[in-house]
Every structure is written in C-alpha cells, then in structure tokens.
Chains A and B, each alone.
Chain A
Amino acid sequence: MAILAYATPTDDQIAWLDAASAPDLLPAHLVAFLQCGVSITLGACGRTGRPVVGSGVACRVSGMNTVRVLLSRRTEAAVIDAVEGGSAIAATFSRARDHRSIQLKASRALVRPVAPDDASEAARQCALLADDLVELGYARAQADVYALLGAPDLVSLEFRPERVFTQTPGPGAGAELPR
C-alpha cells in the first residue's frame, strides 16, 4: 500500500483563508470536498433532548451555499424525526484516506424528497468511498456496507451551513473556520 500523507487542521485553515469568498458562500475547494465520496456523520437533537447520531449516504451542494445530504429514510428515521421536530443539524464529512474532516452546522434543516438524479450521484459517491476503504484494507463487502452503497428509500436533508469547523485529527481540531 502506498504511504499516504495525512491531512492536518492547519491545511484546512490555510485552504480556507486562501479561498476566502463571500461570507454566505462556501469556498469551491470545500464544495468539491463535500461531494468527493466522503463518509458523512449526522448529529441532531431528538424530541426528548437526547443526541441522535446517523449517517448520510452522499452530499450535493447547490448555489455554493445550500447543502443536501442524502440519507435513507428507513435507517435514519431517528435523525429525520429529530430534524422534523425542529432540531439543529451537524454534519461531519471525513475522507477515509487522509482523515480530512469538516463539520458543518445549521440551526435548522428541511427533509425533502430526492431529485431524479440523486440516486445515481449517491451511487457514484458511495462507490468512491468504498474504493478508498478497499485500498485501506477493508474487504469489498465491508467497504460496500460501510459506505452505504445501495441504501434504500433516499430522502434529502437540506440546510444552509451557518458555521464550519475543521475536525481533522491533530492540534487545532475542532477550531471554527470563520466566515
């Protein structure tokens, strides 16, 4: 296996400053990152006040400011219920091969039906993630399930990120990337 260079929080901060754009727009490198086949961890606050963790299948960004995370209604009922109950949303995007991780947060999100081409885009992103995992030593079956390849009954969780954080492991992890 090739020796990989790992990402650092500083990389995220430099990239962020280099690409400083209008405050309500996401920089192009981040938009590319979100859609490049990363694992997506979702966090919400359930109706009882308990935290709920979930997984997104893929991500689509439109207008450089609106994020849609695709997820399975069947397996992510708890997250969907929390969002429909008015919960804020947190979504962490992690690239398997170098651990680069970015967290987006928004005070609210909407649950919407998927667009006609969402399923094929989801399959593309899942396949990229699964291939990365296989390269890192996962068996094909493990990678496909972990990457949620073929997740059924997709819906979309739509939100406009209000805050962005670097979650890449290392000194400075968790720091907000100011907008």
Chain B
Amino acid sequence: MSAVDLRALRGSMEGFCASTLCTCDEEGLPNASMISQVHWVNEDHVALSYQFFNKTRRNLLATRQACVQLFDPSTLAIHRLDLDYVETRTSGPLFETMKAKLAGIASHHGLEKVFRLLGADVFRVVAVEQVQPPSAPPACRSVSLLTAVRACVDDLARCRDFDDLADAVLDGMVRHLGISNAILLMAECDGRLFALGSRGYAVSGIGAEILPGEGVIGIASREGVPIRIGHMSAEYRYGAALGAAARSAGLIAEEPPGVPFPGLGTPHSQIAVPVMAAGRVLGVLFAESDEVMRFDHECEDALLLVATHLGAMMALLREEDAEETPPAHVPAVLPGGGVTVRRYPRDDSLFIGHDYLIKGVAGAILWRLLREHTTTGRTDFTTRELRLDQSLKLPDHAENLDARLVLLRRRLEERGACLQIEKTGRGLFRLVCRCRITLEEVGKADAIEVA
C-alpha cells in the first residue's frame, strides 16, 4: 500500500467529473474507458459503479484487477490507483449511496435514462501513484467545519428537553454550518418520517410526511447512512412542485390530505444524514441547496457528527415520568361555537373541521387525550400514562414519545387551532380547549361532544 492515505483523495471522488479506468482480459489485451463514479468506501477500499455488462465487466470478473485515474477538481492533483476486486453489492447502504449519487451525475450529463446502477463493485486499493502533484491550494471554506460542529454541539449541550434540541440543531445548521435550507424529521416505526421543524422555507412543513424509502431522506433512514446528491435528479426530487405538475396534467385528481413537504422546487444539492442512537434510526437531518455540489465529504462528516450528537442527546434527555398525578385542572367555561375533530381510523389521521391536522402516532395520542377529556373532563396528563397505554402502540423507546408530543404541540400551534398542548412540568402537559369540541369517528354513527 502506498504512503498516500485514501482519505486525502476523497476530493477526487466527489463525482465532479468522470474518472478513467483500464482493465485487461486474460490475454492481457487492455480496455480503456470512462467510469461515472469512483466512491470512497474507507481507508483502503473504493467502489466503482457497475452500470452495464460490458467489456470492462467481463475483464473484471476474469482478472479481478483494475487501474483508475482520479482528478481532484480542488487541488488539481491527479492520482492513479491499482485496484483488486473484492465483491459486488447489489443492495444495502453502499449500493443505495452510490445509486443516489449516480442519479445526480446521470441527470447532470443528460443521461438519466442511460445510467442505472446494477451494482457497487468494491475494490481494495493496492497502490496509489501521484501522477500530477497538487497545483492549487485546497478550497478554503469560509467557516472551519470543526469550529462549526463545536458550536453546534455546544448549543445542543445547553438544551434541557427535546423541544430545545429540535430548535437548536436547526438553528445551528443555519448559523454555524451556513446551511440555508434544513429540515429535521422523526422516524415512525413503520419507516415513515414526519417533519418536526425546518429553516429557510416559506412554510415550516411541520407534520409533512416522507414515505419509507422515499428520496434521499427515506433512503438515509432505511439504510442508516448519509445520502448525498450533487446535482438535481428527478428520481430523488421532493416537493409540492411535482404534485402540482401532476395535478395540472390531470394525472392525479386532487391534493392528498397531508402537509405539503416544504422542500425546494429544484434543489441542485441534497443531503440526508440519519440521527442515530444505540443502533436505531430516530430521524433524519436534511439539507438542500440551489447550488451544485454544495455538500462534499467533509460537510457530510460535519452533519453526521451533529446528527449523532443530537441522537445521543435525545436519548439522554428523554422525559422522565412525573412521580405524582397532576392536580385536577378546572377547565374554563367555554365560549359558544365549536369545531368537530374527525378521525379516520385507517391511518389515525385527524381533521379539525375539514382541515387536515396530523396522523400516525401523534394523531393517535391526540385522539386518546380528547376521548379522555370527553368522558372525564380531564385536561392534565402525564407522559407516563401515554407510555403505558397499549392502545397507542408506541414504540419501546421513550424519545419517540417525546418527539411525537413536540410534533403534535407544534402542529397545533402552527395551525392556530382552538386546541393546544402546553407543557406544565417534567413529564406533565395540559390539553387546552378554547372552544366546544365534538369528536367524530368517520365510519361510526355517533358523535361525542365535549361538555
């Protein structure tokens, strides 16, 4: 192995331009070609994109050796790597990371219908030769990423609860990491994710849902790895723009219920990093930009550090259950008028009047509170009783409940609903109803009215 640390060559593997590749057949006849993607795997491995069964592929399977040349667009250095084939991966984190990156590259070159990842060919790097020394200083960042991460972590360390954490991490991304558009999403057990907060958009999108495996966010969550795209790709695009286009073309009839995803219409760079703790994905930090190749390997390192620290803090700061039963709260006399809260049991979605509010576990929690309020008049609750309530089908991990309560509270706040949730102490909260509320389970005849 050469003295050159492969980590120093990550800048050559950002996908700025195609790399070149040579393989030989069993008789030693060479084949020279371009390769869309050389992906940095670790200190002594890289992966090449396998897109077609061609001469290169046949040679690789026969001789298991390759030689690639890489160009660093930042330092202008050129390196040659001798590679020994190890294996091909056709699924899993490495494959998905490369697939997403390739989609961006293909789109950038007008080859979206031509390039499709069939596999990630993993190679051990057996030698590195510097063909051309660096002739430009590495691009200087306006902010040192290490300093920026330190500032983010410092902010997180001052948080006292999950609510604070959610704001601190998004503010830190903007203020310290210079990211203009960011979203924090929390994962449900079934792989869906819900936006808990955002920065840089006209609307917050709190409560917006990402389906399992959808776009860079869904894949980052499913695979537990960062997913990064340096160019716009239709395949990985989010946003209301697509739905609006489909509606105007008559492809879909009406807007589905739910909060529209707040993403940029035509992002040129996207990155999603998983928020993990104890081997579980709790959510995803997402950032995007109008700029091409805005997020590089080092940005990814920085965001992953922040996300990992967030995950640890979420586990650490989980709401402790209140020791005592909350004092009975006497509800104020409600003014006239009222609203109907409707529940669709199919997906636990709740509507206030005819306006969508929330669904999933957060929807189930609110419905549980409203029903209890209906029958007993109770307004003060504990997180402990929710945790113990089997009917909510809550996951085993406490931070999930905290995240859902925050999501629910923020969504109600944003809607300016006559229903609000207020935190009244550690593990304690209050349901505040400012008008008369009627509950209606869609599909059931009887409506229950809150007294």
Contacts and interface: CB of A to CB of B under 8 A. Distances in A.
Q: Do A and B share a complex? A: yes
Given A92-B34, A94-B34, A173-B54, A45 B111 contact: no
B34 A101 contact: yes
Interface stretch (A10-18, A19-27, A46-54): A46-54
A44 B23 CA distance: 8
A51 B347 CA distance: 57
What is the interface residue range for chain B against chain A? 35 or more
A92 to B, nearest CB: 4
Interface string A70-108: 000001001000000001111110100001010101010
A174 B32 contact: no
Nearest to A54: B69
A167 B21 CA distance: 13
Nearest to A49: B28
A51 B30 contact: yes
A41 interface: yes
Contacts of A4: 110
A78 B30 contact: no
B52 interface: yes
Contacts of B31: 43, 90, 103
Contacts of B82: 50
Interface string A135-161: 001110110011000000000000000
Interface string B266-293: 0000000000000000000000000010
A88 B30 contact: yes
B55 interface: yes
B131 A75 contact: yes
Contacts of A107: 29
Interface string B401-413: 0000000000000
B22 interface: yes
Contact of A87 (B28, B63, B66, B69): B28
Q: Please report whether the interface of chain B is mostly helix, strand, loop or mixed according to DSSP.
A: strand
B109 interface: yes
B129 A45 contact: no
In the A-B complex, the 7 residue pairs with the closest CB atoms: A43-B32, A43-B22, A43-B30, A53-B22, A45-B28, A41-B20, A51-B22
13 contacts: A41-B21, A41-B33, A43-B32, A45-B29, A49-B28, A51-B63, A78-B129, A87-B30, A88-B30, A90-B30, A141-B135, A145-B78, A169-B115
Interface of A: 4, 6, 41-45, 49-55, 75, 78, 87-92, 94, 99, 101, 103, 105, 107, 137-139, 141-142, 145-146, 165, 167, 169-171, 173-174
Interface of B: 17, 20-24, 28-34, 52, 54-55, 63, 65-69, 71, 73, 76, 78, 80, 82, 109-111, 114-115, 129, 131-132, 135-136, 292
Given A52-B67, A174-B52, 13 more contacts: A6-B111, A41-B20, A42-B32, A43-B30, A51-B22, A53-B67, A55-B20, A55-B69, A87-B28, A89-B30, A90-B29, A167-B33, A169-B114
